[in-house]
Amino acid sequence: MKQVLTFDNVSMTYYTKTQETQALSGLSFGINQGEFVSVLGPSGCGKTTLLSLASGTLKPTDGRILLDGRQIEKTNTDVGYMLQRDHLFEWRTIYKNITLGLEIQKKLTRENIEHCERLMKEYGLAEFKNHYPMQLSGGMRQRVALIRTLALKPKVLLLDEPFSALDFQTRLHVCNDVYSIIKKEGITALLVTHDISEAISMSDRIAILTARPAKLHRMHQVNLGHVPTPLERREDPSFARQFETLWKEISQNEK
Amino acid sequence: MKNEFLSPQHKKYISKLKRHKILVFSAQTGVLVGFLLLWQLLATVGVIDSFLMSSPSRIWHTLADLYANGQLFYHVWISLYETLLGFAIGTLGGTAIAVALWWSKTLRDVLQPYIVVLNSLPKIALGPIIIVWAGTGQKAIIAMAVLISIIVTTITMLGGFLETNAEKILLLQSMDANKMQIFCKLVFPSNLSTLASCLKINVGMSWIGSIMGEYLVSKAGLGYLIVYGGQVFEMDLVMTCTIVLCLLAGGMYFGVAMLEKFFVRWKS
C-alpha cells in the first residue's frame, strides 16, 4: 500500500529565553493511502507539534516528513487542517467560509466551485449557503469547517482534537458525521487526541506516544475494521477491552 | 406578518418591552422639557440672573438672530469642516500606523516607548508649536484635531489587531495565505467592531481638538464664538453655541452608530 505521510526519525526542540524543551525525539511512523490513524499520548507530549510539522507551519529540528515521498518544506495545499474550534469567520456566509481557502489560493475556478457545491449539497449544507455561522448549531458549524478543508482537495487531513469543544452528545454525533464524510471522500486522516475512546472509535491504527520527549511507544492495530461507524464501534464488545489495554499503556507512559 | 403566530404570552412579553421603551423615551423627553421650563421660570421670576445664566427664550432669540444674519451656518460649517477633516485624517492615519506596527514586530518594539509618551502627553501643550509650524489658520486647528485622535486610534486599533485569534491565523497559514491575505481576510474584518468603537471615540476627540484649536487661534467657528462670547460677557451667545455644539456632536455620533450597524450586519 502507498504511504502518503511519513514521519522519518523526526525530532523537534523548542527554545525560549531560559530553556529548551525537546518535544519530539526520533519519531517514526507512516500513514497509508485512505487510512485513518490517531495519535494518542499523555497530555503535553507534543501531539499538536506533530500536526504543525505535518502542515509545514513548523520545521523539524531533525529528521524528515514526507508527503507522497517528497519532503515537506513549507506550508502547502496538500495538507488540510481541522482545529479544535471551527474557527468559521462570523462575517462571512457559509458559502464564503467554505470557499475561503480557494479564494486565498486564487483557485476559484468553475471546477473547484462545482466541487464545493457538490460537497455542500451532499452533506446538507446547500440550504444554509447564505446563512451566517451564528445561525448554525455547533455540530453543523464543525461540519462546515470540515467541508471548508475538503474544498481544497487535500491529500491528508490533519485533525487536532476537532470535537473537544463540543458537549458530549453533540460530540458523538459530529464524530460519526465527520468520520462518514472522511471515509466517503476517501481522505487519508491523522487525528490527534487525548480521548482514548474517540481514537478507538474512529481509527484503523493508533500511534501511542511516550511522554515528552515523545517517540513512538507502539503502533496499535484497531480490530474493529468490520464495524462501519464510530457509534457502532463504541458498542462492540472488544471496544472496552482495547480501551483498557490502551489506557494502561498510556498511564504507564505518564509516569 | 410575524405577529399572527405569536402566543398570548409572547404578545404580552413584546408589549412589556414596548411599554418600557415608551417609558424611557417619555422620561428622557420629560427631563429635557422640565429642565428648560424650570430654567425659563427661574429666569423670568428673577431667581437666577439671566445675564449670567441666560435662559431658553434668550437662547432661542440668539439662535434666530444668528440664523437670520447668516452667521449660524457660517460658523457651524467652519467648525464642522475642521472636525470632520481632523476626524478623517486622525482615524485613517491612526489605522495606517497601526497596520504598519502590526506588520513589523521590530518597528512595534522600537516605537512603543514613543507612542506611550505621546499618548500620555496633553496635546494642548503642543499648541504653541503647532501654531508656529502650521500658522494661525485652519491648518493649526485641523492639526490639533488630528493630533488628539491619531494616537488613540493607533493604540486602540493595534490592540485589536494583535488580539486576533492565533488559531485562526494558523488556519489561514495552513491554507498557504501570505501576510497581506491574513490581514485583509482576517485581521481587518475581525476588527471592524474595534474600528467602530474607535470612530465613536474619535467623534469626541476631534471635537475636543477643533474647539480647543479654535480657542487658541481662530477668526471663526463655534469655538471662536464661545471664546468671544465669554470675553464680552455675552452668555446668551456662549450658551447658544454650546447647545449647537451638543447637537452637532450628537448627530455625528449617531451617524457613526448607523455606520457600525452596517459594519456588523452579520450579527443580526
Distance between first and last Cα of chain A: 36
CA separation for the pair A192, A195 (Å, rounded): 9
Among B189, B192, B173, CA closest to A83 = B173
- Percent pLDDT > 90 in chain A is 13
The pLDDT confidence band at residue A2, using thresholds 50, 70 and 90, is confident
Q: Could you give the CA distance from residue B104 to residue B108 in angstroms, rounded to a whole number?
A: 6
| Segment B13-17 mean pLDDT | 92
Q: Measure in Å the smallest separation between the Cα of A75 and chain B Cα atoms.
A: 6
pLDDT one-digit tens code per residue, A74-89: 777 788 888 888 899 9
Residue B239 one-letter amino acid: M
Instruction: Tell me the three cell numbers of residue A219.
Output: 503502533
Whether A98 shows a pLDDT value over 80: the answer reads yes
Which of residues 170 through 189 in chain B touch A, CB cutoff 8 A?
170-177, 181, 185-186, 189
Distance CA A161, CA A54 (A): 15
- Give the Cα-Cα-Cα angle A76, A77, A83 (nearest 5 degrees): 95
pLDDT in tens, A121-136: 888 888 898 999 998 8
Residues from chain B contacting residue A92 (CB–CB below 8 Å): 266
Are A38 and A207 within 8 A, CB to CB?
yes
For residue A22, CA distances in Å to A12, A16, A39, A211, B81 come to 6, 11, 18, 11, 61
CA distance B84 to B79: 9
Confidence of residue A16 (pLDDT cuts 50, 70, 90): confident
Chain B residue with the nearest C-alpha to that of A133: B266
Q: What are the φ and ψ backbone dihedral angles of A24, each rounded to 5 degrees? A: -125, 145
Q: Which residues of B touch A152 (CB under 8 A)?
A: 175
pLDDT, one tens digit per residue, over A50-80 is 888 888 888 888 888 888 888 887 777 788 8
Q: Is B200 on the interface with A (CB under 8 A)?
A: no
Question: Which DSSP letter does residue B4 get?
Answer: G
Helix, strand, coil percentages (3-state) for chain B, rounded to 5, are: 85, 0, 15
Quickly count: other Cβ atoms within 10 Å of residue A177's Cβ: 20
Interface test with chain A among B167, B168, B169, B174, by most A beta carbons within 10 Å: B174
Grid cell for residue A172? 458523538
Largest Cα–Cα separation, chain A: 55
Assembly ipTM:
0.81
Residue B3 — very low, low, confident or very high, per pLDDT cuts 50/70/90? low
CB contact set of B107 (below 8 Å; sequence gap of 6+): B100, B101
Nearest Cα neighbor of A8 from A83, A81, A62 is A62
Beta partners for A220? A206
**pLDDT over 70 at B4, yes or no:** no
**Ordered structural domains, chain A, with CATH:** 77-194 (3.40.50.300)
For residues A42 and A250, is the Cβ–Cβ distance under 8 A? yes
Of A77, A90, A104, the CB nearest to B185: A104
- State which residue of chain A sits closest to B182, comparing Cα positions: A104
Cell numbers that stand for B237 in this block:
451667545
Task: Tell me whether residues A84 and B165 touch, CB distance under 8 A.
Answer: no
Taking CA–CA distances from B166, the nearest residue in chain A reads: A87
Q: Is the dihedral of CA A29, A34, A40, A44 positive or negative?
A: positive
Give the number of other Cβ atoms within 10 Å of residue A142's Cβ.
Answer: 27
CB-nearest partner of A77 from B168, B176, B189: B176
Which 3 state secondary structure label does DSSP give A27?
Answer: strand
Flag whether pLDDT at B1 surpasses 50: no
Cβ contacts (< 8 Å) between A56 and chain B: which residues? 174
Tell which residue, A144, A158, A175, has the closest CA to residue A51: A158
Maximum distance among all Cα pairs of chain B, rounded to whole angstroms: 77
Condensed to tens digits (0 to 9), the pLDDT of residues A161-209 reads 888 777 888 888 888 888 888 888 888 999 998 888 888 888 888 888 8
Of the candidates A57, A76, A91, the beta carbon closest to that of B170 is on A57
Distance between CA atoms of A35 and A77, rounded to whole angstroms? 19
Q: Write the pLDDT tens digit of every residue in B87-144.
A: 999 999 999 999 999 999 999 999 999 999 999 999 889 888 998 998 888 999 999 9
Given this model, what pLDDT does residue B93 score?
Answer: 97
Which residue ranges make up each domain of chain B? 59-267
Q: Which residues of A touch B172 (CB under 8 A)?
A: 104
CB–CB of B115/B152 below 8 Å?
Answer: no
CATH number for the segment(s) B59-267:
1.10.3720.10
Task: Count CB-CB contacts under 10 A for residue B67.
Answer: 11
Looking at the predicted structure, is the pLDDT value of residue A44 above 50?
yes
